[in-house]
Structure 1
Amino acid sequence: MKKISDLKKTMVLSLLALFCFALLLFFLYHYDNKYFQKSPQPVSGQYYLTEEDFKEQSVFFPVEDWAFYPNALLTPLDFKNQMSDVFIQFVTIGEYNDFSMGRPRTSPIGSATYRLTLHLPQKPAFYSIALPEVFSSYTFYVNDDLAVQVGDPWTGSYKDAVGNRVVSFEGSGKVTLTLCVTNRNHFYSGLIYPPVFGTSQDVQHLLTVKLVLRSAFLMLLFTATILFSYFAFKIRDKRAGIFVLICLTTMGYTAYPVVFSIWTLPVQPWYSLELFCLYATYFLTLSLQNNLCGISSKAAKISEIALLTFCAAALLYTFPFVNTGLPHSVFVILVRCVKYFTVGYLLISSFKTVADGKSSFNFLLVSTAAFGVSVAFDRLFPLYEPIYGGWFLEYGGFFLVFGFGYVLWQEMTEAYRFQMTFTEEKNQLTRQIAIQKAHYLELTEKIDEAIHIRHDERHHFRTIYTLLENKDFEAMEKYLKSCQEKTDHFTQTVFCQNMISDAIFKYYQTQSDAKKIDFQVMAELPPELPLTDTDLSILLSNLIENAYEACVRQKTSDPLIRIVAKYQRKQLMLRIENSYETPVKMKNGDYLSTKHDGKGKGTISVRRIVESYGGIVNFKINSQIFQVSVLLSFME
């Protein structure tokens, strides 16, 4: 019943989060969209801007009614000749992605000219116009002057190139902008992104803010890549490796504003790489989802193979032989299917995992649904060009990556914590085995000696009996003394009645004697204690091990370990003191290890055991003596 209640609560919170995310996208659509800025727009190729317009608004986005001359490369000189036979139409920038103008049987390959006449205030000022990624080569004129050329659009010397460019000029009154474009690729054609126009200072400010935001996003992904690469290498986690690839492919298809602002690049292979990174992200997210959710069914494998095959198809799509024919139409349909399938698969598998009681997937469920909302917005609101931020799919992709990162971080920290616990337990077990082995060898030696003594007893008795018969008491006394000297070393030291504690004390006494460490023990412990043998072994072994290692590192003074252990009135009291030379380092109240970076594992284990019994542990440093005091009370 509680499981159903938790699931309902999760669904309510998820729907609330999705509603908030949808509101965010709707807000961005209206307030971070070049198409929704309340500013003057061109009319029939004429763009009138007054001084009041510049006071009310810093930058402008001319998207409507550009004069468009298809299949013609026209320079300002051509327009001066007053051509009468050239076809003209007026277009909205971004309404169509290529020169086919939405007509399936028309080729996107060709040439065209865009023209816009600005009517600016009479007072001269410096203006700028930002041209983002004009496909795929162009020349741009301000009045009669060539302002910038990217690639080579002219027939016979065509060369494609893509880059973001800002053209600045001093102008007043009437200024004519002419853009001559040639495209021989089937991806996009011409001016598909609305330019930014305004005073040079305002345009530069907008572009800087946009570039900083995009760079910050890429740096966040890069940081996640470095962090999870470390975990992938450190704990050999395949899931971390897949997430690193997701971060890299996400950077691959979102870095274009930064890349094209710095460099001018040919369309190939950069566009192929960008497109491949986009659809490879879908494949990798599905693969990571299967690994996180433990899905290994035949359907899951088929899904991964299908998306991987589509990634290969996306690469083929970038080759020139794909045009406006059947391959292009099929690819567009496949893109939609892949998006919907990926969203549906991630949603269903995340919901199933949450329903099975894995609460860490709640956030992944929300982020997956957010990605689905972004896909829906991308289809419902096609006329969206962000001013500062990113596209809808980029926002959704960011939340999806963040969701995977959150779940994977929890999974890996849990795995890392388990690995550290396992390593510590393994070290404890190794130490206990060493103690038991040393204790066993000691007992074996004593048993062998006892066997030899018993074997020689009859010879001793016969000799003593003979001396007694001869009444040679002086010789008998000497013989008994020699026998006593031989058996004195057989006497076994016992530190206390508790077998576990006694074995640990004897082990470290042997170790200390080998290193010439003064090892002193005063122990009054009964055979049975109210804590488990495992906890007692971990407690004593860690504390004495730390003391022993500190003494081994000493070079000048005489090393010393002093142990006091008592059990009385249902209280176990331990005090372990040791000399040291290496300074003891602390951070946030915890002692740092001298063997590795981070906190000392031994002290952490000691604190955990003491706290489990409601006890007290105190560490004290005094005149080159490190002291640890432990008090465990077993009062009912």
Structure 2
Amino acid sequence: MSRTKKLRLRVYLGMLLAALIASLFFCTLYHYNNKYSQRTTQAINGLLILSEEDLSENPYRYLWNDWMYYPGVLLTPEDFSMGSPNRYMIYTDIDSSNRLSVSNQRKQARYGSGTYAMRIQLPDTEKSYAIDMPEVFSAYRMYINGRLVLSMGNPNPNAYRGATGKRLVTFVPDDDGTVDILIAVSNYTYFYSGITYPPAFGTPAALNYLRFFCQGLRLCGIILLLVMALVCLYFFRKLHLTNAGWFALLCLCMIGWMIYPLLHILKILPIFPTYWLEILFFYLTLFLLVFLYNRICGIPKWIAACSNGFAGGFCIGISLFYLLSPKLPDIAIEWASVFIAGDKLLLSGYLLISSFLMVRRRTDLHLLLYGSTFFACACIWDRIFPKYDPIFGGWFLEWVCIFLVCSVGISVWHFLTEGYRQGLLLEQQYRVTEKQLAMQTNYTQQLNEQVEIRRRFVHDFRHHLRTIHAMAEQTEDKAILQYLDSIEAYITPSSAASPTHSSRPAVDALLAYYETLTRTRQITLTLRFALPDKIPLSDVELCTILGNLLENAVEACERLPKPEERIISVKTSVTPLLWCMTVENTFDGVLQEQEQKHFRTRKSDAAYHGIGLSSVEHTVKQHGGTLDIYHMEKTFRAGVTIPSTK
């Protein structure tokens, strides 16, 4: 079997294994971490009877089954003083599809009022119990045994005020162990309405432990994301790695999405902009995931632009939809839910296909492929298991987004460590180069001093020869005259001195070296080089920029088979504010693109790939300059701009 076929088989098997693990994970969550699949005694026809054994085996349970529901009215305990009120009532389960105004089982409206009621019969013991109330949309009053124990916002339609929060209420049953729960709810602001998440009932110790564990688990995830964001921000500032900055922003958006359950416990919040911000952070997270996938996988620019535009446009559209949702009809809400589900499936398909195509030529992207597989499975199982509300942790998409963020983070970390390693290598090379250049500069200065001494000596000696020549002419000694003529011809320079391009000996020496090198390798080099009087670059930095750019240009030209095609041009321009230089060379049209906008050379030692351009960019940015790289079909151009000092 060929290496290519083995790689493809490995990719297929990896995807299959990831899909099986993801499916097993989500099925396990559904069956064992689901408020609706918890095996506890539930109410029947609005009555829940619990024994000592029930409470011992399950110290807490979620009340989702068979609530008595009175649509269209806000009832109080006085309405039940003479028994059940003479009102229309149905038995309903608590889930996210609930709506307040119910005309029949098929048609529901989200705006209006309603009252939920349940009676719990407990053992006749003097014990305290608690109810953990989730977010209820969007204002309610809660009565237990005729007493008002909790109020969130104002459900009165004439003075309506929406609010949201999570609260734990403790109470003691009546003497006979009876607990009558009455919750009057109104909603005129949100597209969810009424009680959509089941309340938890149990002992205060069990519910407090449950709260602590759930929110502690969420807090650990937020701290992990915050640490990753801070580390990436450090590397972004230190090494100027753009992907690190984008990943830090992704982590912060993920934190913004995940932190709201904690805020709901700490403080009562308004409906808007609380849930609008939560949704905005969620879709910003999805947008940044697509954006980083495109950058890491090296997706073609037009495909990346289309996918980024679609994800960003959907983020803006859904944000506007949530802002306008109070004024939209119910049919618009239903269609929006269809579009949202379709967007998630489309997004998962794009991530899966793009990472699958890229992993066949880049073996370091397997983790992104498996993350995409998890995301696709999450979207599918989320549609298969619609009645799911987690006890611990988050929803399917929260779990998979954390996995995706971690997989993207590992890929970004690979670039960070590689960039840091290159930075250390560059720093070491810089120190060695600085020492060598200092020694070379010192030697050049000594050599120039010796040349200047010789030039003065020759200049003075020629005057002495002319004096002796005049004296010999007076005595008409032809032998002496002939010998003097031969000496003068010997000491007369036969060729012009080497040209200088600047007032920097080290720079001139480097340019002279490449003039000689290009002649020996049959490369046409055009030099139009000048430096301003005041430029912030040292000799080491100038030689770093010139040396790396000219080395890459010579390396690229050597791959061209015909000498007449090998052309390098170095041009500079000087203005009162800027010094600009362009190094342009021909090449064979083959480029190896790496992270961000750089291109790797094709050196035999892979450890040095891309270091030259990184070194140039690092040096240029230290002085507030820019490095711009362009390429056409057969021409590569690097442009450097440095601000001049005043």
The match for 2:447 is: 443
Indicate how the Cα distance of structure 1 residues 458 and 36 shifts in structure 2: closer, same or farther if over 3 A, else same: closer
The match for 1:106 is: 108
Structure 1 SS opposite 2:193:
coil
CA distance in 2, matches of 1:284, 1:104: 38
Compute the displacement of 1:195 (Å): 1.1
The match for 1:9 is: 10
CA distance in 1, matches of 2:216, 2:197: 20
Structure 1 SS opposite 2:316:
helix
Indicate how the Cα distance of structure 1 residues 187 and 244 shifts in structure 2: closer, same or farther if over 3 A, else same: farther
The match for 2:336 is: 331
CA distance in 2, matches of 1:325, 1:150: 25
CA distance in 1, matches of 2:325, 2:293: 35
The match for 1:195 is: 199
CA distance in 2, matches of 1:369, 1:351: 10
AA of the residue aligned to 2:450: K
Q: Kindly, what percent of the aligned residue pairs are identical?
A: 34
Matched, 1:76 2:77: yes
> Superposed, which structure 2 residues align to 1:243-258 within 5 Å?
243-258=247-262
CA distance in 2, matches of 1:75, 1:217: 41
Compute the displacement of 1:454 (Å): 4.9
Matched, 1:304 2:305: no
AA of the residue aligned to 1:106: Q
Indicate how the Cα distance of structure 1 residues 433 and 118 shifts in structure 2: closer, same or farther if over 3 A, else same: same
2:287 counterpart (279, 283, 289): 283
CA distance in 1, matches of 2:302, 2:188: 43
CA distance in 2, matches of 1:380, 1:339: 14
Compute the displacement of 1:433 (Å): 2.7
CA distance in 2, matches of 1:95, 1:452: 97
AA of the residue aligned to 2:115: T
CA distance in 2, matches of 1:219, 1:97: 34
1:154 counterpart (135, 150, 156): 156
Query: Is this contact kept in 2: 1:99–1:109, CA < 8 A?
Result: yes
AA of the residue aligned to 2:281: C
CA distance in 2, matches of 1:155, 1:7: 63
Query: Is this contact kept in 2: 1:107–1:324, CA < 8 A?
Result: no
Compute the displacement of 1:285 (Å): 1.1
Q: Which moved more, 1:423-432 or 1:94-103?
A: 94-103
Gaps (5+ residues) in structure 2? Answer: 469-606, 608-646
Structure 1 SS opposite 2:201:
strand
Query: Is this contact kept in 2: 1:76–1:178, CA < 8 A?
Result: yes
Compute the displacement of 1:441 (Å): 1.5
Query: Is this contact kept in 2: 1:47–1:117, CA < 8 A?
Result: yes
Indicate how the Cα distance of structure 1 residues 402 and 78 shifts in structure 2: closer, same or farther if over 3 A, else same: same
AA of the residue aligned to 2:121: H
Query: Is this contact kept in 1: 2:297–2:365, CA < 8 A?
Result: no
1:348 counterpart (334, 349, 353): 353
Query: Is this contact kept in 2: 1:231–1:240, CA < 8 A?
Result: yes
The match for 1:59 is: 60
Query: Is this contact kept in 2: 1:360–1:410, CA < 8 A?
Result: no
Query: Is this contact kept in 2: 1:108–1:324, CA < 8 A?
Result: no
Query: Is this contact kept in 1: 2:99–2:108, CA < 8 A?
Result: no
CA distance in 2, matches of 1:167, 1:43: 23
Compute the displacement of 1:443 (Å): 1.4
CA distance in 2, matches of 1:100, 1:144: 25
CA distance in 2, matches of 1:307, 1:420: 38
The superposition leaves residues 361-380 of structure 1 with CA deviations (integer Å, 9 ceiling, x where unpaired) of 11111111111111111111
The superposition leaves residues 234-292 of structure 1 with CA deviations (integer Å, 9 ceiling, x where unpaired) of 22222222212221221222212111011100000011101111112221111111111
CA distance in 1, matches of 2:336, 2:56: 47
AA of the residue aligned to 1:345: Y
Matched, 1:24 2:28: no
Indicate how the Cα distance of structure 1 residues 121 and 454 shifts in structure 2: closer, same or farther if over 3 A, else same: same
Compute the displacement of 1:456 (Å): 5.4
CA distance in 2, matches of 1:70, 1:275: 29
> Superposed, which structure 2 residues align to 1:45-56 within 5 Å?
45-56=46-57
The match for 2:614 is: none
Matched, 1:399 2:403: yes
The superposition leaves residues 294-313 of structure 1 with CA deviations (integer Å, 9 ceiling, x where unpaired) of 22432321222222221122
**Could you state the TM-score of these two structures normalised by the residue count of structure 2?**
0.68
Gaps (5+ residues) in structure 1? Answer: 465-607, 609-636
The match for 1:228 is: 232
Compute the displacement of 1:459 (Å): 8.8
Matched, 1:420 2:421: no
Aligned Cα RMSD in Å?
Answer: 2.6
Compute the displacement of 1:100 (Å): 5.4
Query: Is this contact kept in 1: 2:189–2:326, CA < 8 A?
Result: no
Compute the displacement of 1:34 (Å): 1.1
Indicate how the Cα distance of structure 1 residues 13 and 83 shifts in structure 2: closer, same or farther if over 3 A, else same: closer
2:145 counterpart (122, 143, 148): 143
> Superposed, which structure 2 residues align to 1:470-549 within 5 Å?
none
Number of residues of Structure 1 aligned to a counterpart in Structure 2: 468
Compute the displacement of 1:116 (Å): 0.6
1:126 counterpart (118, 125, 128): 128
The match for 1:208 is: 212
Compute the displacement of 1:445 (Å): 1.2
Structure 2 SS opposite 1:43:
coil
> Superposed, which structure 2 residues align to 1:261-276 within 5 Å?
261-276=265-280
Indicate how the Cα distance of structure 1 residues 454 and 217 shifts in structure 2: closer, same or farther if over 3 A, else same: same
Indicate how the Cα distance of structure 1 residues 306 and 460 shifts in structure 2: closer, same or farther if over 3 A, else same: closer
AA of the residue aligned to 1:264: I
Structure 2 SS opposite 1:44:
coil
AA of the residue aligned to 1:337: G
The match for 1:618 is: none
Structure 2 SS opposite 1:37:
coil
Query: Is this contact kept in 2: 1:104–1:324, CA < 8 A?
Result: no
AA of the residue aligned to 1:169: F
Query: Is this contact kept in 1: 2:191–2:325, CA < 8 A?
Result: no
> Superposed, which structure 2 residues align to 1:585-624 within 5 Å?
none
Compute the displacement of 1:17 (Å): 3.1
Q: Which moved more, 1:240-249 or 1:454-463?
A: 454-463
CA distance in 2, matches of 1:240, 1:103: 51
CA distance in 2, matches of 1:421, 1:36: 57
CA distance in 1, matches of 2:359, 2:105: 46
Rg larger in structure: 1
Compute the displacement of 1:453 (Å): 4.1
CA distance in 2, matches of 1:96, 1:330: 14
AA of the residue aligned to 1:372: A
The match for 2:86 is: 85
CA distance in 2, matches of 1:25, 1:109: 34
Query: Is this contact kept in 2: 1:7–1:354, CA < 8 A?
Result: no
CA distance in 2, matches of 1:178, 1:458: 119
Indicate how the Cα distance of structure 1 residues 291 and 331 shifts in structure 2: closer, same or farther if over 3 A, else same: same
Query: Is this contact kept in 2: 1:317–1:328, CA < 8 A?
Result: no
> Superposed, which structure 2 residues align to 1:344-383 within 5 Å?
344-356=349-361, 358-383=362-387
Query: Is this contact kept in 1: 2:68–2:89, CA < 8 A?
Result: yes
CA distance in 2, matches of 1:241, 1:112: 48
AA of the residue aligned to 2:68: A
Compute the displacement of 1:461 (Å): 10
Structure 2 SS opposite 1:156:
helix
Structure 2 SS opposite 1:171:
coil
Compute the displacement of 1:31 (Å): 1.1
The superposition leaves residues 440-488 of structure 1 with CA deviations (integer Å, 9 ceiling, x where unpaired) of 1111212332344455568999999xxxxxxxxxxxxxxxxxxxxxxxx
CA distance in 1, matches of 2:374, 2:414: 20
Indicate how the Cα distance of structure 1 residues 63 and 300 shifts in structure 2: closer, same or farther if over 3 A, else same: same
Compute the displacement of 1:174 (Å): 1.2
